[in-house]
Amino acid sequence: MISLVVPAYNEEDGIEELHRRVRNASPAWGEDWELVVVDDGSRDRTLEILEGLAATDPRVKVVSLSRNFGHQPAVTAGLNHATGSIVCVMDADLQDPPEELLPFIEKIREGYDVVYAIRTKRKEGLLKRLAYYTYYRALKRLATLDIPLDAGDFCVMRGEVVDAINSLPERNRFVRGLRTWVGFRQTGLAYERAARYAGEPKYTLRKLLGLASDGIVNFSYRPLQAIMLVGFFVGLIAVALGLVVLSQYLWNFAIAGYNPREARGWTSLILVLLFSSAVQLFCLGILGVYLGRLFEETKRRPVYLVKKRIGVAAPAPD
Ligand code: UDP
Ligand code: MG
């Protein structure tokens, strides 16, 4: 069976169309399927519509979370509840078209364990596209893991891989990173990311920045190493400058008209002070981010809480 895992947050305008298009595309897959929609604490009629769909089509399964936990926890919930031997993760807004799934499924049947989608064209604003472009490249450079470029969460995986991802204990889920981490035979397929079918993007800028920083912080120690390097070099510069100023003071000579004995150094002093405290604050900030992460993990809270299930059983505890 093929499980389609779909996180949905306030998607009342698109969810029926999603179901219709999945139904139309499915005969080509030649296999049973289930549509596991995770209602991520929607405030609109998403859950109501889902209940209606589930009542008429038993292949529609619903996991409704107790509040809005966010896209990645919602995907995690979906992966926990999917039972298929092939599992596909896609968005509810039809930006990842169900009609494009067939080549992905065929790759799995060829023997690949993970087939992730590479976004070639995005139908989004120039600024957003540029930001995505830069981010994925920065992530690739920073991450200690080879996370593929321009690959989002849209993918098809073999059930074993999903089990492996589900068994990873961390609370802070950057699903596409975890998917890379588990390994197995992976490959990418290009697709054109469609425009949103209906409604506004549910990712606010804040959520998007959060996801971006999760990607880097969860999969890289480089920022911590960079702190050390920056600290080291700023220290070197400080020592060199200190020596220069000290010898100027001792032997009473001016550089570019500046003589510390005339105490005209206020400007440079302030500049250095500001610069070094900025570097320190920045570094402290990075340390804080990692510390916060540790704090989150030690609390061992669940990634999400389920309010209601329709057509699916609670996953067995591992
Ligand atoms: N989503 C979610 N919880 C959230 C935000 C988004 O489950 O808090 C879902 C949303 O319904 C959609 C998917 O995640 O199915 C991607 O969101 P969106 O389309 O807003 O992101 P974008 O495509 O702009 O990256
Ligand atoms: Mg979208």
The answer, yes or no, to whether residue 295 has pLDDT greater than 90, is no
Of the two residues 12 and 121, the one the predictor is more confident about is: 12
Are 21 and 58 in a shared domain?
Answer: yes
The answer as to whether 78 is a domain residue is yes
The answer as to whether 68 is a domain residue is yes
Top mutation candidate among 18, 40, 50, 71 for ligand 1, by most atoms within 8 Å of CB: 71
Residue 48 pLDDT: 94
**How many C-alpha atoms does 126 have within 13 Å on its Cβ side?**
0
Of the two residues 161 and 209, the one the predictor is more confident about is: 161
Task: Please tell me the number of the ligand nearest to residue 18's CA.
Answer: 1
Are 215 and 227 in a shared domain?
Answer: no
Which tokens in the block code for residue 222? 């480089």
Are 255 and 238 in a shared domain?
Answer: yes
Q: How far apart are CA 225 and CA 141, in angstroms?
A: 14
Mean pLDDT of 176-196: 85
Are 25 and 174 in a shared domain?
Answer: yes
Are 113 and 188 in a shared domain?
Answer: yes
The answer, yes or no, to whether residue 19 has pLDDT greater than 90, is yes
The answer as to whether 318 is a domain residue is no
Task: Please tell me the number of the ligand nearest to residue 76's CA.
Answer: 1
Q: How many domains does the chain have?
A: 2
**Residue 151 main-chain phi, psi, to 5 deg:** -105, 120
Which tokens in the block code for residue 152? 């989002």
Are 211 and 98 in a shared domain?
Answer: yes
Mean pLDDT of 204-208: 81
The answer, yes or no, to whether residue 141 has pLDDT greater than 90, is no
Residue the block writes with tokens 């919930």: 77
Mean pLDDT of 66-82: 94
Share of the chain above pLDDT 90, in %: 40
Task: Please tell me the number of the ligand nearest to residue 125's CA.
Answer: 1
Are 94 and 243 in a shared domain?
Answer: no
The answer as to whether 160 is a domain residue is yes
Supply the CATH number for residue 138's domain: 3.90.550.10
Are 269 and 188 in a shared domain?
Answer: no
CA of 262 to the centre of ligand 1 (A): 62
CA of 9 to the centre of ligand 1 (A): 6
The answer, yes or no, to whether residue 16 has pLDDT greater than 80, is yes
Of the two residues 83 and 216, the one the predictor is more confident about is: 83
In this structure, the strands spanning 33-39 and 60-65 are: parallel
Going by alpha carbons, the residue nearest to atom 16 of ligand 1 is 91
- pLDDT tens for 97-133 read 899 899 999 999 999 999 999 887 766 778 888 888 8
Top mutation candidate among 203, 214, 304 for ligand 1, by most atoms within 8 Å of CB: 203
Q: Which of 35-39, 137-141, 151-155 has the highest mean pLDDT?
A: 35-39
SS3 66: coil
- pLDDT tens for 25-34 read 999 998 999 9
The answer as to whether 150 is a domain residue is yes
The answer as to whether 77 is a domain residue is yes
Task: Please tell me the number of the ligand nearest to residue 207's CA.
Answer: 1
Are 142 and 252 in a shared domain?
Answer: no
CA of 191 to the centre of ligand 2 (A): 15
The answer as to whether 274 is a domain residue is yes
Residue 38 pLDDT: 96
Indicate whether residue 132 lines ligand 1 (CB < 6 A): no
Mean pLDDT of 35-55: 94
Indicate whether residue 214 lines ligand 1 (CB < 6 A): no
Going by alpha carbons, the residue nearest to atom 2 of ligand 1 is 71
The answer, yes or no, to whether residue 318 has pLDDT greater than 70, is no
CA of 15 to the centre of ligand 1 (A): 13
Of the two residues 253 and 55, the one the predictor is more confident about is: 55
Residue 131 pLDDT: 83
> Out of 111-115, 123-127, 188-192, 288-292, which region has the weakest mean confidence (pLDDT)?
123-127
**Alpha-carbon torsion (136, 142, 143, 148), positive or negative:** positive
Host domain of residue 39: 2-220+303-310
The answer, yes or no, to whether residue 267 has pLDDT greater than 80, is no
Share of the chain above pLDDT 70, in %: 96
The answer as to whether 316 is a domain residue is no
Indicate whether residue 11 lines ligand 1 (CB < 6 A): yes
Q: How far apart are CA 265 and CA 246, in angstroms?
A: 13
* Predicted TM-score (pTM) above 0.75: no
CA of 17 to the centre of ligand 2 (A): 15
Compute how many other C-beta atoms are within 10 angstroms of the C-beta atom of residue 99.
Answer: 12
Atom of ligand 1 nearest to the CA of 74: 7
Residue 106 pLDDT: 92
Are 81 and 226 in a shared domain?
Answer: no
Are 17 and 113 in a shared domain?
Answer: yes
Are 164 and 129 in a shared domain?
Answer: yes
